[in-house]
Amino acid sequence: MTSAEMKAAILHHLVYTQGKDAVTAKTYDWRMALSYAVRDKIVDRWFEATRRAYAEKRKRVYYLSLEFLIGRLLKDAIINMRLEESVLDALKDLGIEWEEIIEDEPDAALGNGGLGRLAACFMESQATLGLPAMGYGIRYENGLFRQRFEDGRQVEEPEDWLNQAHAWEFARPEVSIDIGFGGHVQEIGSRANWYPSEVLIARAHDTPVIGWKGRWGNTLRLWEARPMHGFDLARFNRGDHTAAAEPEAMARTLSRVLYPDDHTEQGKELRLKQEFFHTAASIRDILRRFESEYDDLRLLPKKAAIQINDTHPAIAGPELVRILHDERGIDFEEAVGIARNTISYTNHTLLPEALETWGEARMGRLLPRHMQLIDRIDDLHRRETGTHDLNAHHDGKVHMGTLGFIMAHKVNGVAALHTELMKSTVFKDLHELHPEKIVNETNGVTPRRWLLSCNPRLSSLITDSIGDNWVDHAEDLKKLEPFTEDAGWIEKFTAAKHANKVDLSNWIAETLEISVDPDSIFDIQVKRIHEYKRQHMNLLETIAYWLEIRDNPNAGWTPRVKIFGGKAFPNYIYAKEMVHLANDMAKVMNSDPLTSRFLKVVFPPNYNVSLAERLIPAADLSEQISTAGKEASGTGNMKFSLNGALTIGTLDGANVEIRELVGAENFFLFGMTAEEVMTHRAEAGHAARAIAADPRLARALETIRSGGFSPEEPGRYHMITDNLTHHDYFMVCSDFTDYWRAQRDVDAAFADKAEWARVAALNTARTGWFSSDRTIRGYMRDVWDVEAAPLVDLAAE
């Protein structure tokens, strides 16, 4: 597409779709016009791919996920469609600022963190590989809350990404599916009729997901909840205005917010309803498509693979069995077999508090037939394996992980260590019964968004050096290795990183009014705020370093900028205290005349995908410091390495594999192993002993305890200091001394600029393996048994 054609297309949509002329158009109007112009190009490719998948009767992959953290779509679309040049030229011609347009798009934050972002990377990789696939999610009206700081405290505000028109979706009112809840069951022999007492409608909204170079496109289908009977005109006419709109409001609640507060009874109920709503609508849709092409349901596993992303859609097993058995009349055991061979389950955490269970009373009330089927599935599994325990339903609860395991033909972990821990801990007994079921598929990230798009300077250097094949064959980045020995090339690499750091420094100055020196170590920890991720260990080290500088301000310290980003779950008090502490520390330290040349603390609010894209390319040091055994994989760790940051980290999750690939000598390792954590935790008084043995740690803790960062309220952080002193389940104190040592190794290494840059470049060269293209190929081979379609040949078009 030429620039002139692009310009004409933008102007056309500005007038005829957006209904504005160039004189009155605002940034929003231009953004919408550009989005529609780009979307037109995508739609043709998307249809072509969809037509081929049908015509060639291909097996499809269905990715069921309650979360898709997709972020902004415009730039991604432009880059994958190779339209940057024509768009940039056209915008320049029209006098429109590119940055301003890109920044105007709200982030689609339909996810909490890693799990949702992984789903988004997977969608992009599937499209790039030409794998016929469809993502199913919920179209939350309000995605993840927006985070603001008020006196350093986190305040949550609703995120209203749908407030403006959403350029990328197509409403599909003709795809409307009835979803029932509650009611009663009438058993007829082995089968049953379910008469729900409440029915909602799931309405589809489709977003095209286009792969690299636009050579394949898939669909992300998001469900919106609608009332069965809309507005009650009779009631309205009787004067009962509020009641007339009630069904509508009730139904909308269901797709209103991501992960509602489940500390209340109503919150729990709503979450379970969301899970069933999402899963039942998706399963119906999958079967409708299947039955339009084939007439034998026994073929289902050959033509469809259903992946359940964590246990949130694990009710898919019983729901599929219910339809096959109750509605289609397939024998119960055969129905279970078909469902199992179709479904597979990914586990994303071993944290006990995050393993889902549902009380039998609630489940029985909301999904009476499913509750019966779960018991029959348990019963069948007992007969198959000759066991008498290991039920999904036990102790008054349905354990969704067990249900997921029993109803899947493959169960996967998301990094090598995590998968091994699944086998030896949470799923030990089930693994012994089904030793072939658990497989590992180490996570990955899409190099299109997480290198090409977010880091244009480094990407250009890479492409100038080895060509652009790396974009969809990231293992090609290996070809950069010889360049890392070339001083001239390393200078260019350093220049790219430095320019990224200058950009970030300017942004920090403008938005947060903090001045940082781009020659400092940019040390970044961005992720959800959680005890196991140990942001507070990083804070303690920051305090210890600050105190050391104060003791001796002229000792030639290595300047650091400590950057934090992340949201705390709204009712997770401890995590919120960690956020508050970081902000209180920033206030004190950034204005300390003795230390502020050497140390700054920066915590931009509202960490999201777009902020990640801004921060990661500017990082020198990536903080991956979770308690070993607790972080299933991590994916931020991969993004940092790929963008030429060095990692300081524990042997946890995918850090283990990152270290293997970049080389142990190029990784700042510290801390206990997962096994050591387990034995050490059993030794009473571990925290007190660690504190007694490390005066720096003791002093840092004491500084917090005595109100060093909250003089107006010295007791503010007692929750944190008491926990660390007396309990410290996540072993912050026991790992602190070694963490401090590793941080000083970082200082020493950073002093040799050329050597640091060489190792940073090696990180980029050696982490192409973490492309989500590789991950998806793994699922295709080990889990889905499916092949990609030949990519659309652009030359032939």
Provide the annotated active-site residues. Answer: 348, 527-528, 533, 635, 639
- The DSSP secondary structure of 492-560, one letter per residue, reads HHHHHHHHHHHHHHHHHHHHH-----TTSEEEEEES---GGGTHHHHHHHHHHHHHHHHH-TTS-PPPE
Residue 64 contacts residue 282 (beta carbons within 8 Å)? yes
Among 166, 215, 325, 348, binds ligand 26V (CB under 6 A): 348
Eight-class DSSP state of 207: E
H helix intervals, 694-752: 695-705, 718-726, 732-751
275 binds ligand 26V (CB under 6 A): no
Q: One symbol per residue from 63 to 102: x for binding ligand 26V (CB under 6 A), - otherwise; what is it?
A: ----------------------------------------
Stretch that binds ligand 26V, among 2-10, 166-174, 327-335, 345-353 (CB under 6 A): 345-353
- The residues in 572-631 that bind ligand 26V, with binding defined as CB under 6 A, are 631
Q: One symbol per residue from 392 to 411: x for binding ligand 26V (CB under 6 A), - otherwise; what is it?
A: --------------------
114 binds ligand 26V (CB under 6 A): yes
Stretch that binds ligand 26V, among 281-289, 343-351, 361-369, 713-721 (CB under 6 A): 343-351
Distance of CA 138 to the CA centre of its chain: 15
Element (H, E) at 577: helix 573-590
196 binds ligand 26V (CB under 6 A): no
Q: How many helices (H) and strands (E) does the chain have?
A: 32, 24
Q: One symbol per residue from 621 to 640: x for binding ligand 26V (CB under 6 A), - otherwise; what is it?
A: ----------xxxxx-----
| Count of residues in contact with ligand 26V, rule CB under 6 A | 18
113 binds ligand 26V (CB under 6 A): yes
| Residue nearest to ligand 26V as judged by C-beta position | 114
For the chain, how big is the Rg over CA atoms in Å? Answer: 27
* Distances in whole angstroms, Cα of residue 261 to Cα of each of 61, 313, 683: 31, 18, 35
531 binds ligand 26V (CB under 6 A): no
Question: The tokens 């070809």 sit on which residue?
Answer: 479
| Closer CB to ligand 26V, 167 or 400, in the complex | 400
| Closer CB to ligand 26V, 501 or 533, in the complex | 533
443 binds ligand 26V (CB under 6 A): yes
Residues 6+ apart with CB under 8 A from 296: none
- The residues in 162-181 that bind ligand 26V, with binding defined as CB under 6 A, are none
657 binds ligand 26V (CB under 6 A): no
Question: The tokens 């349901």 sit on which residue?
Answer: 297
| Closer CB to ligand 26V, 115 or 474, in the complex | 115
Q: How far apart are CA 468 and CA 156, in angstroms?
A: 42
For residue 625, give the 3-state DSSP assignment: coil
Smallest distance from ligand 26V to CB 682, Å: 23
| Closer CB to ligand 26V, 114 or 617, in the complex | 114
Smallest distance from ligand 26V to CB 261, Å: 11
Stretch that binds ligand 26V, among 68-76, 114-122, 282-290, 609-617 (CB under 6 A): 114-122
Smallest distance from ligand 26V to CB 60, Å: 23
* Distances in whole angstroms, Cα of residue 794 to Cα of each of 58, 216, 240, 544: 21, 10, 59, 58
| Closer CB to ligand 26V, 313 or 634, in the complex | 634
Q: With CA atoms as reference, report the closest residue to 136 among 217, 42, 76, 67.
A: 67
Smallest distance from ligand 26V to CB 641, Å: 14
The two tokens of residue 267 are 């919150």
414 binds ligand 26V (CB under 6 A): yes
- Number of C-beta neighbours around residue 325 at 10 A: 23
- The DSSP secondary structure of 757-786, one letter per residue, reads HHHHHHHHHH-GGGBHHHHHHHHIIIII--
Residue 75 contacts residue 167 (beta carbons within 8 Å)? no
Residue 78 contacts residue 38 (beta carbons within 8 Å)? yes
Smallest distance from ligand 26V to CB 109, Å: 14
Q: How far apart are CA 616 and CA 608, in angstroms?
A: 12
Smallest distance from ligand 26V to CB 323, Å: 28
Residues 6+ apart with CB under 8 A from 777: 129
| Closer CB to ligand 26V, 310 or 319, in the complex | 310
Q: How far apart are CA 53 and CA 35, in angstroms?
A: 26
Residues 6+ apart with CB under 8 A from 21: 14, 15
| Closer CB to ligand 26V, 443 or 484, in the complex | 443
Smallest distance from ligand 26V to CB 628, Å: 13
| Closer CB to ligand 26V, 147 or 459, in the complex | 147
| Closer CB to ligand 26V, 114 or 130, in the complex | 114
- The residues in 350-379 that bind ligand 26V, with binding defined as CB under 6 A, are 351, 353-354
- The residues in 300-319 that bind ligand 26V, with binding defined as CB under 6 A, are 310
- The residues in 708-727 that bind ligand 26V, with binding defined as CB under 6 A, are none
Residue 28 contacts residue 164 (beta carbons within 8 Å)? yes
Smallest distance from ligand 26V to CB 414, Å: 4
Smallest distance from ligand 26V to CB 227, Å: 30
Stretch that binds ligand 26V, among 111-119, 398-406, 538-546, 549-557 (CB under 6 A): 111-119
- Number of C-beta neighbours around residue 747 at 10 A: 14
Residue 408 contacts residue 345 (beta carbons within 8 Å)? yes
| Closer CB to ligand 26V, 117 or 381, in the complex | 117
Residues 6+ apart with CB under 8 A from 275: 66, 312, 313, 315
Smallest distance from ligand 26V to CB 411, Å: 14
Q: One symbol per residue from 115 to 154: x for binding ligand 26V (CB under 6 A), - otherwise; what is it?
A: x--x------------------------------------
The two tokens of residue 303 are 């033509």
Length of the chain: 797
652 binds ligand 26V (CB under 6 A): no
| Closer CB to ligand 26V, 348 or 423, in the complex | 348
Smallest distance from ligand 26V to CB 632, Å: 4
Stretch that binds ligand 26V, among 94-102, 110-118, 287-295, 542-550 (CB under 6 A): 110-118
Residue 697 contacts residue 731 (beta carbons within 8 Å)? no
Residues 6+ apart with CB under 8 A from 617: 454, 455, 457, 458, 497, 500, 643
| Closer CB to ligand 26V, 310 or 584, in the complex | 310
For residue 729, give the 3-state DSSP assignment: coil
Smallest distance from ligand 26V to CB 421, Å: 12
For residue 183, give the 3-state DSSP assignment: coil
Residues that bind ligand 26V (CB under 6 A): 113-115, 118, 310, 348-349, 351, 353-354, 414, 443, 631-635, 653
